Structure 1
């Protein structure tokens, strides 16, 4: 019977099980405190995987292979062992420290890309300035002759 303030253990257990709370507690207790949806993991960290490891397809493979398989392939290609992650139906569960390592690798990748772009732009400006100086010198020498 339903009454205010009364707990029925079977009803509470069923509600917790249906809402996924019991499964989440079990996963965290097993040592996987961090979780990411497969699509988010591939979208955020897939760029870190070398092209030869991706098979040249990248995210376009998601429809053919499946997001779960693509997420597993991504995390394995980044050097993580099977015991460091657990692939669920829709999420990847990560051991403590794995997510921090992924974030650090992503930051390093972004930094390297930014440094490359900066050096390319600086080189472009330097070549442009040099070209301007050379043209000015040619003009000066032509006026002298």
Structure 2
């Protein structure tokens, strides 16, 4: 099996692993929100941190949608550069977010994980989608 064809299932599995962890955080965000707050907190503080985390998770899910559309449309499925980038960042995001859940990291650390691991591959995917469908260029 060539390197490019072996990247495809690995990339798919790491994207799905990252997606599953984000959905898990969405469902069980109460514990993570409480980890962001001091021992004594008001309902306003809780609601504020909860809404920030919901926004971050929602944007992450939207970026997943963009990346999965690009992947399944074939635009980036056979692109080895995007495959390696996506594989690396989603794998590191899966590991980091697992620590985020189990060690109850503070909520601001989600943003540190979010930008390189969700925004970067989605941005490259958008560029590939624009190049292929907008400019009618052949994918690399």
Q: TM-score, normalised by structure 1?
A: 0.32
Greater C-alpha radius of gyration: 1
More strand by share: 1
Q: TM-score, normalised by structure 2?
A: 0.33
Instruction: Between the two structures, name the one with larger relative contact order (CA 8 Å, sep ≥ 6).
Output: 2
More helix by share: 2
